[in-house]
Structure 1
Amino acid sequence: MKSLALILLLFSLQIAVSQETDTIPRKKINAMRITEAPKIDGVLDEAVWKDVPIATNFVERMPNNGAPAPDSLRTEVKILYDDLGIYFGAVMKDPEIDKITKELTERDDLGNDDFFFILLNGYNDHQQSFEFVVTAAGVQWDSKITNDNEDSSWNAVWYSDIRINETNWTVEIFIPYSQLRFPEKDVQLWGLNMEREFRRERKRFSWNHVDNSKGAFLIYDGELHNIKNINAPFRLSFQPYVSSYVTSFDGKTEVNFNGGMDLKYGITDAFTLDMILIPDFGQTKFDERVLNLTAFEVQYDEQRAFFTEGTELFSKGDLFYSRRVGSAPTGDVDLSIHEEIVENPATVDLINAMKISGRTNGGLGIGIFNGITERTYAQVKDSISQEKRSVLVEPLTNYNVLVLDQRFGGNSSISFVNTNTTREGDFRDANASGLYADITNKKNTMRYWGRTEGSWVMTNHTQFGIEGGAGLSKISGSHRMSGEVNFRTKDYNIDDLGYTGRTNYINYYGYYGFRYLKPKGGLNNLYLNFNLNFTRRLEPDLYNEFNFNFNSSFTTRKFIYFGGGFETTPFGVNDIYEPREEDRFVKVPGYYDGWAWFETDYRKKFAMGLTYDWYVYSEGWRDEKRIDFYPRYRFSDKWKLFLTTNIILNNEDRGYVNNLDGDIIFGQRDRNTIKNAIESQYIFNNVMALNLSFRHYYSDVSYEKFFTLDTDGDLILNPDYHENHNTTYNNWNIDVRFSWWFAPGSQLTLLYRNAIESYQEEAVHDFNRNFDNLFNEPQLHSLSLRISYFLDYNRAKSWFGKKKNIPNTAQASVYADKRKYRMKL
């Protein structure tokens, strides 16, 4: 705790003395008001584009930071606005236009492409921007971006088109005000930056210079002036959907029809309500299931769009793990004699969910999430009387998250997060709260942070735990350093709405890094870093681990990537988690780990990467090898293929297997894990795509001998233990998906799925026999169709209004042009 107090003292002293401010030059550009909207076709030939101020003189951001863009790659951008939204027209010179890279991808995917993008900050606070990207293939990509998060799951509805000409390529963009956030003022002042990717030479040019040597990207935007007398539109949109599923499993076929709707409502100019009514998550990706032999549950990625889009505020503090909402039931089933469970649902159905999020003009971000799951029952049958009964395994449950995030000083914030889980009846409830400070000095050279969190779990008694930490780091220049301390008590538990993982430790961490800020010699960039970790158990005090780590990464002028590293635990490890019992630990010998990797130039049709990682333990009979191989081939700008192979070979590893009559049993085991994945995409055009995704995961474990864990952490050979713990696990799944964005914000998805899973209580090393066993298991076949349509209130209003009430001005022209644009797509 003395180290924590020291860091907090240094943090306070540095804040007091860091009062100087660097002057960051900001370019300025005026937008011009128009009364007749241009057609969004990528051709800037309308009269409205003439005699408009030009944003130009772009500056190289990467790799040669600060160099002026050559005249041969000159970029010019013009900006217009009207009562409906803002327009951008960009002209980008290219001396070899026939070589422009324009790989087709799905929406929200950047491939081997030239592209142009816009950052717009309606509050001009260096804290929050909307990002709009258009590739040279005409594909859109968008995100919400803050200084510590880029949320590319956010999808706006906007319009764009491109043209590739003889000496340049052009982009035309229209962004409705309904997709932006800005204050209610007569005269607007927005933050703006624009960038261009010149993919052939992997160069990035920005309008306002971005200093890569310090600070965050968003503090370097320029200024957009002269937008006057505009009003934020009434923001209300609906996303109704219909879906149908035909599912076959183990000889049974089911047909389901569903319908529902997502709703977005602009409460104010800054805050938005998102609500999902009658959820349908049937087309989410398969989880990458694995054979888990560790002391901790597997933390899977969130696949449901509602829980990934617009959640940048809810990621503060890592208290919210959205997979808890609708996860496995938490209750147990008490069986009487002769009873057995005949049905036990793996998940809980979500009734509905909503979130409110936004940020005030003063920089206060507010996020509110609420979700409700329904009662879930297991079915139990008496094997003699054949009578069945229902057992409540998850009651009606309400989940809440509250986030308050006050940003200030261009790059700093103080945040408060609270999560709450309330279950009906006598089931357990839980609450967790966290307070966070993240401060960057005004010169953008030093960062300081601190946090404290508390958890309360309420059953028949209250369990309270805390965690905390503090640190400081130098974030500028070639030489960078940081130090921090973190701790967590053994009663800390946020598993009702978060993910806990390790507890009962205090950790001290130090880092030193060196990097090239500009290309030197034959390298475009170089990164070196050295890391020290020292961890002790808190209660009772015990040495846990001392770890040294070195990493390196290099990029050549020809964009060959390579690197490697070294890691060691020279004093061994006292593992306090593997025994699965408080106050116990097992001694693990020290290891030496070395790795190397390289990747070829991904601009080429064929590219590949390879990683080799080898752990060698001080007990010479034990080691682990990891090999990753990932080639890819681009047949054309429309068709590409990705392969991935991951191999992990564990030799004579030792781990927990059982707790028998108070004795903790460990086993010595060999384990082989192989994962193969194939992904192929055929992109018809910028709104239509066909995807194939395949994954096969295989892991076998064979035990050689068993041990009893002694109280001093040693393993004592146990020749009398003979239970079988050998295992082979397979997980196989295939997705074939056709997607069509048939209108802005509207999508049709046709999906076929096949999945098989097998678990055997033996180690199967024979390849053919393993697959014979796998395909003897029941297979899931599923064919589904889902259609969703984006319906904007303002557009719908114009459809049903009387013709004479639609003015023959920009509004009528834009709506007419947008209809033409949709028909063209």
Structure 2
Amino acid sequence: MNHKSLFCLFIILCFAFAKAQKLQTSDSLVIKRKIYQATRVTTAPKIDGEPFEKFWDAIPTGGDFVMIQPTNGQKERDTHKTEFKIAYDDNALYVAAFLYDNHPESILRQFSQRDQIDVQADVFGFYLNTYNNQINQTRFFATSANALGDAIAEGNREDYSFNVVFKSETSINESGWYVEMKIPYRTLRFPEIELQDWSFQIIRRIRALNEEYTYNFVDITQGISTQYDAIMTGVEKINPPLRLNLYPYATVISDDFDGVHTTSYNAGMDLKYGINDAFTLDASLIPDFGQVAFDQVILNLGPFEQLFGENRAFFNEGTDLFNKGGIFFSRRIGQKPSGSEGIELFDDEDIINNPNNAQLLNAVKVTGRTKDRLGIGFLNAITAKTEATIENRLTGERRTQVTEAFTNYNMFVIDQQFSKNSSVALSNASTIRNGSFTDANVTALVLDHNDKNGANSYRSELKMSNRFTPTGAETGFSIEARWRKTIGKWRPSLAYFHRNKKWDPNDLGRNFQNNTRTFAADLKYNQFTPIGIFNRFDIDFRIRHRRQIDPDLHTNSEFNINPSFYTRERLAFGANFNLFSRELNQFEARKTGQVVRYESRFFTSGFVSTDYRKKFAVDVRMSRSKRFNDVDESYNFSFSPRYRFSDEFLLVYRMSWNKNDDRISYVTTTDNEEPIVSRRDTHSVENTLSGTYNFNNKQALSLSFRNFWSRATFSRDFNQLAQDGSLVPTDYILSDDFDPDANFNVWNLDLSYRWRFAPGSEASLLYRNSIFNFDNQGDLAFQDSLNELFTQPSRHNISLRVTYFLDFNDAKRWFKA
């Protein structure tokens, strides 16, 4: 694809933007907000999930729900009406709802565990905004099988890592299903004023009909859902209780690896304390993350590190504020020591101990938002000094080498909300290391603005990074600017991204590119309501133009069409069509200023996903990429069947196959620091199996298995690189002690039993089996590699962890009794 073609495509898309803009200039966001008055009560209802009992007789009924999808704006069915009541006292908010269904036998009721609400079960959701700012919500869910869920939302972002202790019970009878909730004030944050200004929303999802309803109408063609809350009146003269929750825990771990058996014990406590009506302190004292999920490790031959998701609850819960500016990545805390791979060895020395992670000593965070809509977040974590132990094999003498210093990580955010769903935030992340190590500081200023008609969204970010090394300091910056239309079927957007040569937030953040600028244009068409056989569909057009900043050169351009379709029968399918210009890759050569040239290519993919409501469903995805005038090509295929044996038992298998032939790839660097490249073939196969047997909504037996195999074979026709990135043949010969070929195989199996024996309290028993192998046998087939894997030592790990939830207010009542 040449520059003229890309320019023509860009002009065509700009005309489409202008047309879409003209069509929508008269649109404006007008929201009608229902009003419901909550009732103060003197006695609390019994939360038993039984249909409206006498307690609820005097409480006003709310109803008249409206469909959000598939036919947005349609009134609720007469056969599936929803009625609710809300009451409160000095301790909690109480919600009851009757979700009528004239065919109660058709109500799907798959069992699941905490926060697993996206299963084949009906859902009731109560969303509460205690500041009535049309931005933030605290969301509480219950399914028809009485699985609980909770989340916090800001605009379109929903975070299920948020966990509080509330109570819900459900039941099903000949008229439908019924739900009762008790939401203690300790789970909420609200101003200490006489008359509360709250808003709320209630949602109902009917899986069998593939329909969703809300109490206050949500127009999905404009704005965002949090702007459509109803008003709650009548809540007055309540005092926020003392919010002090303790989570003491104890853990015992038995580990057996390569003939060495160890047993360890650990105990500690997490603490959650409400400093005032707005702010909460969370602390992890003697942290223990022994039962977090295993990482999805792959064979990484690229220029960038492989990053893993955060599985530690402390760093997941209530961290939405810390995402402002995108400069905080919590996996940096307690990560692999930065000096663990650069240990200097003398003759006859071996490394006998090299810790994989820096030990986290403690972590605290403070988060909250005032009645004036000012959000503040602060996080501090400390990791211990990490040392590798080295032994002289002849003398037995040992020495240590520091691989990571004693380190203090800090994150601070202030976020002021204003107008309708707009905010400006200032974030700062700092990493301070003891001794002659690198310190770092990154600052971000972020503006999110939505105009008063809710028709346009604007976002800008200005970020600066500072790294202080023993030899000096480096300062870099990053700029982002975005605009998008937020109403109507046609939604254009424009964006610009700029990261200069020294931009580096990686000490506490993550970044894959610098010295780049990108121009982006998108146009998305959304068919929000049913048409023909489709419930909805959307088509996304994208253009990207990328350049290196210093020196200025065009690195790559891309044009993409991405249609997705969803039928009335819950069949989803779509495709992706990409054209890429020739690419000058800035990073593959691992040498500043040196690019690798790749020819233009096309990429196409497609997917099909069948109806999850049926016992058997399947997901299929495939793709192909091919460079023009080059032998480089790749294929990918994944197949994932799932079978729901019963409402208690679901099993999901996934196989992914990937092959990439003749890719120009980095091999090594010569003594005079010139990169050597050659053609590389890679082949990988991944098999995963996950399943859960739910005894009930409080006890489950879960299986998680993954085997990932990958091999890489490099051609011995080596090349150096010309200044323009083209290949220059060389007579380079590999040394005897270096082979770039790779055979990588990893096996992980987790079998766990979890029992939520009391609200907020849990016992978990975990068996973990893992095997790992890496060598240079790049010609091994899958079966041979698997056989080789099983010759490696296997780790067997059994751990038991018990966590107990203790509310200080309940403890006071115990002592008074």
TM bracket (short chain): over 0.9
Q: What residue number does 1:475 align with?
A: 486
Q: What residue number does 2:720 align with?
A: 708
Mapping 1:256-655, distance limit 5 Å: 256-331=264-339, 332-459=342-469, 460-569=471-580, 571-655=581-665
1:101 and 2:113 aligned: no
1:764, distance to aligned residue in structure 2 (A): 4.1
Equivalent residues of 1:189, 1:226 under 8 A apart: no
1:782 and 2:782 aligned: no
Equivalent residues of 2:540, 2:562 under 8 A apart: yes
SS in 1 for 2:394: coil
Equivalent residues of 2:156, 2:225 under 8 A apart: no
Residues paired across the two proteins, number: 789
Deviation per CA, 1:685-743: give whole Å up to 9, x if none: 01110000100000011122322222221112335424532111001000001000000
Equivalent residues of 2:599, 2:630 under 8 A apart: no
1:39 and 2:53 aligned: no
SS in 1 for 2:208: helix
Give the Cα–Cα distance (whole angstroms) in 2 for the partners of residues 44 and 543 of structure 1.
66
Q: What residue number does 2:7 align with?
A: none
**TM-score with structure 1 setting the length:** 0.94
Deviation per CA, 1:276-332: give whole Å up to 9, x if none: 000000000110100001100011101111111111111111100101100122235
Gaps of 5+ in 2: 1-9
Equivalent residues of 2:133, 2:421 under 8 A apart: no
Give the Cα–Cα distance (whole angstroms) in 2 for the partners of residues 717 and 303 of structure 1.
46
Give the Cα–Cα distance (whole angstroms) in 1 for the partners of residues 260 and 64 of structure 2.
65
Give the Cα–Cα distance (whole angstroms) in 1 for the partners of residues 248 and 279 of structure 2.
22
Mapping 1:138-287, distance limit 5 Å: 138-287=146-295
Give the Cα–Cα distance (whole angstroms) in 2 for the partners of residues 601 and 150 of structure 1.
24
SS in 1 for 2:420: coil
Give the residue type in structure 2 aligned to 1:421: T
Q: What residue number does 2:702 align with?
A: 691
1:339, distance to aligned residue in structure 2 (A): 3.2
Q: What residue number does 1:84 align with?
A: 91
- Compared CA separation, residues 711 and 22, structure 1 to 2 (3 A): closer
SS in 2 for 1:773: helix
1:48 and 2:59 aligned: no
Q: What residue number does 1:809 align with?
A: none
1:757 and 2:767 aligned: no
Q: Identity across aligned pairs (percent)? A: 37
Equivalent residues of 1:19, 1:442 under 8 A apart: no
Deviation per CA, 1:555-610: give whole Å up to 9, x if none: 112111111021011x3100111000111001101111111111111111000011
Give the Cα–Cα distance (whole angstroms) in 2 for the partners of residues 227 and 711 of structure 1.
71
Deviation per CA, 1:647-698: give whole Å up to 9, x if none: 1111111200100123311121211011110001100001110000100000
Mapping 1:794-813, distance limit 5 Å: 794-801=809-816, 803=817
Equivalent residues of 2:633, 2:661 under 8 A apart: yes
Give the residue type in structure 2 aligned to 1:567: N
SS in 2 for 1:316: helix
SS in 2 for 1:227: coil
Bigger mean CA offset, 758-767 vs 108-117: 758-767
Give the Cα–Cα distance (whole angstroms) in 2 for the partners of residues 198 and 312 of structure 1.
29
Equivalent residues of 1:20, 1:442 under 8 A apart: no
SS in 2 for 1:351: strand
Give the residue type in structure 2 aligned to 1:504: N
Give the residue type in structure 1 aligned to 2:550: E
**TM-score with structure 2 setting the length:** 0.95
Bigger mean CA offset, 765-774 vs 300-309: 765-774
1:721 and 2:736 aligned: no
Give the residue type in structure 1 aligned to 2:266: N
Give the Cα–Cα distance (whole angstroms) in 1 for the partners of residues 200 and 343 of structure 2.
58
Give the residue type in structure 1 aligned to 2:762: Q
Equivalent residues of 2:222, 2:488 under 8 A apart: yes
1:245, distance to aligned residue in structure 2 (A): 0.2
Q: What residue number does 2:4 align with?
A: none
Equivalent residues of 1:34, 1:48 under 8 A apart: no
Give the residue type in structure 2 aligned to 1:530: F
Moved over 6 A (4+): 18-21
Equivalent residues of 1:19, 1:441 under 8 A apart: no
Equivalent residues of 2:607, 2:622 under 8 A apart: yes
Give the Cα–Cα distance (whole angstroms) in 2 for the partners of residues 519 and 487 of structure 1.
40
Give the Cα–Cα distance (whole angstroms) in 2 for the partners of residues 423 and 654 of structure 1.
39
Please give the root-mean-square deviation of Cα atoms over the aligned residues, in Å.
1.8
SS in 2 for 1:404: strand
Give the Cα–Cα distance (whole angstroms) in 1 for the partners of residues 172 and 426 of structure 2.
49
Mapping 1:66-81, distance limit 5 Å: 66-81=73-88
Give the Cα–Cα distance (whole angstroms) in 2 for the partners of residues 105 and 20 of structure 1.
42
Give the residue type in structure 2 aligned to 1:222: A
SS in 2 for 1:187: coil
Give the Cα–Cα distance (whole angstroms) in 1 for the partners of residues 358 and 161 of structure 2.
24
Give the Cα–Cα distance (whole angstroms) in 2 for the partners of residues 445 and 246 of structure 1.
58
Deviation per CA, 1:524-572: give whole Å up to 9, x if none: 1110011010011011112100111110100112111111021011x31
1:638, distance to aligned residue in structure 2 (A): 0.2
1:384, distance to aligned residue in structure 2 (A): 3.3
Give the residue type in structure 2 aligned to 1:584: Q
Equivalent residues of 1:764, 1:770 under 8 A apart: no
Give the residue type in structure 2 aligned to 1:557: R
Mapping 1:637-676, distance limit 5 Å: 637-662=647-672, 663-676=674-687
SS in 2 for 1:782: strand
Give the residue type in structure 2 aligned to 1:679: S
